[in-house]
Chains A and B, each alone.
Chain A
Amino acid sequence: MIDIEIHKTLGSSVGSLKLQIETSLVQGSFTTIFGVSGSGKTSMLRILAGLLALEKGKITFNDNVWLDTSRNINLKPQQRKIGFVFQDYALFPNMTVRENLLYACAKNSDRKIIDELIEIMELRDLQNRKSEMLSGGQKQRVAIARALVNKPLLLMLDEPLAALDISLRRKLQDYLLEIHKQYKLTTLMVSHDASEIIKMSERVLVLDQGIISKDLTPVELFSSGEVSGKFKFSGELIEIVKQDFVTILSILIGNDLIKVVADEEEIEGLRIGDKVLVASKAFNPIIKKID
């Protein structure tokens, strides 16, 4: 169990933000932090990692006190046994992929894990390349592998997959999930992507202006509970085309554009760019496997 209590005033370009967070994470859980930019997500991770000092707070990992400002305890990042995946990957350019992992490996610890991680992350063919010669997705895999070399108590990922294209992102999500389970990690991830959050995490903390405004499951967050439809998606309204008697709405759901027939009553008050819910009751969808 990780108990977190953070009070910190952050100076930002739009004024100061008061970060006030009180929560706890269950060991072995996968939690996502969600929120608009500037809401304090990255700062929260950096405080947990010990990279950002704070005025008042307490962080304990089981019986281990990482930080307690009232008792003047503040463990350095080096002493916290965490894994951190930075937004810009932060691979060491002077080292090859394998050397990055070797350097990360604590002295006198078992090096077998390096080969294991190289295997899981499919880095065998890349292991002797300098990190600068890698693509974004490859760097990401190395960064995750490197963060895991010392079997961290807490793995933190700061929007790790944001810069990658969809298919690569799916694959890395699978890698991450596999590793999360295999190494029984407690994982905390910052993400903006609804499908990613639903797929990966058991719990979402919504940060708003430095405060946890919601603490719920991903499904609760992304479906509004009003419609009792069996079949529902949320999407963005792209186009409204009026034809003789009906109106056709084009809605972007994920990466797919669908067209839906709507009547006058439904389109009232709808504008392009609105977030809409597409739901249907009492019909049997056809499910077909693709690719």
Chain B
Amino acid sequence: MMDYAPLILTFKLSLITTGFLLILSIPLAYWLAYTKSGIKPVVETLVSMPLVLPPTVLGFYLLVSFSPSNSFGAWLNETFGLSLLFSFEGLVFASILYSLPFMVQPIQSGFSGLSPSLKEAAYVLGKSKWNTLINVLLPNMKSSLLTGIVLAFAHTIGEFGLVLMIGGNIPGKTKVASIAIYDEVEALNYGLANHYSLILFAITFTILLLVYLTNGGYLKRFWK
């Protein structure tokens, strides 16, 4: 019998992660796109690290630092009552780090792709930086935002190594779909593993297809 809880958990995790990432990435990408600061290359490198680092490396360090026997982990536990190890909150935190480049990079190139005079024109018209960001910059880079949102969402769905390292396999709490598939294969339940896999495949395919259709303007033409 197929248990839908891992699938629901996966989408819950992806949705929450994407939401946090969007709020976090817009200011970060804005800073990266416009700053002349010397530490920009360092920050850019750090943001891109999850692209090349094995998820287990990130997972390992998070495991060590979240551990209550570690001072940081203990501090989190004492101050906020947060235990990030083997918990859903921990997964969200780790996913945010893990999917950061997938959100930041498209948005950063979106900012860089806008003509600088757009921003300057708004300033000259008396508009604040915040007003310009909301009314001029962001609305003119919708496709970059969409790409970032979807890539981060899809990438979080595909997470495996990191979850395994710090989430463990607690049903309803940290057992996401990718872990469930691994579980079923280990138990030689190939049929069930296939069900989970097919559903993940179909959903991620649909999401990505929708992005390419939207960014390519196909949908607009179709609706006309």
Chain A contact residues, CB within 8 Å of chain B: 49, 51, 76-84, 86-88, 90, 92-94, 103-104, 106, 146-147, 149-150
- Taking a contact as CB atoms under 8 Å apart, the answer to whether B118 and A84 are in contact is no
- Taking a contact as CB atoms under 8 Å apart, the answer to whether B118 and A77 are in contact is no
A93 surroundings in chain B (CB, below 8 A): 140
15 additional A-B residue pairs with CB within 8 Å, beyond A77-B124, A90-B118, A90-B121: A49-B124, A51-B124, A77-B120, A78-B123, A78-B127, A78-B128, A84-B121, A87-B117, A92-B121, A92-B136, A92-B140, A93-B140, A103-B135, A146-B121, A150-B126
Q: Is B125 an interface residue when CB atoms closer than 8 A count as contact? A: yes
Among the listed A51, A87, A94, A150, which residue makes an inter-chain contact with B125, where contact means beta carbons less than 8 Å apart?
Answer: A150
- Taking a contact as CB atoms under 8 Å apart, the answer to whether A94 and B120 are in contact is no
- Taking a contact as CB atoms under 8 Å apart, the answer to whether A51 and B140 are in contact is no
Q: Is B41 an interface residue when CB atoms closer than 8 A count as contact? A: no
B115 surroundings in chain A (CB, below 8 A): 88, 90
Chain B contact residues, CB within 8 Å of chain A: 115, 117-118, 120-128, 135-136, 139-140
Q: Whole-angstrom distance between the alpha carbons of A84 and B135 in the complex?
A: 19
A90 surroundings in chain B (CB, below 8 A): 115, 117-118, 120-121
- Taking a contact as CB atoms under 8 Å apart, the answer to whether A88 and B117 are in contact is yes
A81 surroundings in chain B (CB, below 8 A): 126
Q: Whole-angstrom distance between the alpha carbons of A76 and B122 in the complex?
A: 12
Q: Whole-angstrom distance between the alpha carbons of A106 and B122 in the complex?
A: 11
Q: Whole-angstrom distance between the alpha carbons of A219 and B39 in the complex?
A: 53
Among the listed B117, B120, B125, B140, which residue makes an inter-chain contact with A104, where contact means beta carbons less than 8 Å apart?
Answer: B125
Q: How far is the CB of A153 from chain B (nearest CB, A)?
A: 12
A77: nearest chain-B partner, CB-CB: B123
A103 surroundings in chain B (CB, below 8 A): 125, 127, 135
Among B120, B126, B139, the one with the most A-chain Cβ atoms within 10 Å of its Cβ is B126
- Taking a contact as CB atoms under 8 Å apart, the answer to whether A84 and B124 are in contact is yes
Q: How far is the CB of A214 from chain B (nearest CB, A)?
A: 29
Q: How far is the CB of B55 from chain A (nearest CB, A)?
A: 38
Among the listed B123, B135, B139, which residue makes an inter-chain contact with A76, where contact means beta carbons less than 8 Å apart?
Answer: B123
Q: How far is the CB of B194 from chain A (nearest CB, A)?
A: 45
- Taking a contact as CB atoms under 8 Å apart, the answer to whether B128 and A92 are in contact is no
B126 surroundings in chain A (CB, below 8 A): 78-79, 81, 106, 150
B127 surroundings in chain A (CB, below 8 A): 78, 103
Q: How far is the CB of A61 from chain B (nearest CB, A)?
A: 15
Q: How far is the CB of A255 from chain B (nearest CB, A)?
A: 30
- Taking a contact as CB atoms under 8 Å apart, the answer to whether A94 and B139 are in contact is yes
Pick the 4 closest A-B CB pairs, nearest first: A90-B121, A90-B117, A94-B139, A77-B123
Q: Whole-angstrom distance between the alpha carbons of A49 and B117 in the complex?
A: 12
Q: How far is the CB of A228 from chain B (nearest CB, A)?
A: 47
A83 surroundings in chain B (CB, below 8 A): 124
B135 surroundings in chain A (CB, below 8 A): 92, 103
Q: Whole-angstrom distance between the alpha carbons of A104 and B135 in the complex?
A: 11
Among the listed B117, B121, B140, which residue makes an inter-chain contact with A94, where contact means beta carbons less than 8 Å apart?
Answer: B140
B124 surroundings in chain A (CB, below 8 A): 49, 51, 77-78, 80, 82-84, 147
A88 surroundings in chain B (CB, below 8 A): 115, 117
A80: nearest chain-B partner, CB-CB: B124
A92 surroundings in chain B (CB, below 8 A): 118, 121-122, 135-136, 140
- Taking a contact as CB atoms under 8 Å apart, the answer to whether A86 and B128 are in contact is no
